[in-house]
Amino acid sequence: MSHPHDGLSNALGSAKSGLVIYKKGSNVTEGSKVLITMKAPAKSPLLALVKGSSGDSVDIQYTQKLERVNKSQVYGKLIAVVPFLGSVLSFVGL
CATH architecture under which domain 6-91 falls: Roll (2.30)
Look at residue 10 in the predicted model and tell me its pLDDT. 64
pTM of the entire predicted model = 0.76
Considering only 44-48, 53-57, 81-85, which range has the smallest mean pLDDT? Answer: 81-85
Break the chain into its structural domains and give their ranges: 6-91
Residue 3's closest CA among 72, 93, 89?
Answer: 89
Tell me the per-residue pLDDT of 9-24, one tens digit each, with 9 for 90 and over.
666 666 666 777 888 9
Amino acid at 20: V
Q: What is the DSSP string of 61-77?
A: EETTEEEEEEGGGEEEE
Highest mean pLDDT among 12-21, 42-51, 69-78: 69-78
Give 63's contacts (C-beta < 8 A, 6+ positions apart).
Answer: 6, 7, 8
Whether the pLDDT of residue 91 is over 50: the answer is no
* Mean pLDDT, the chain, whole residue set: 80
Region for residue 44 given its phi and psi (left: phi exceeds 0; alpha: psi -120 to 50; beta: otherwise): beta
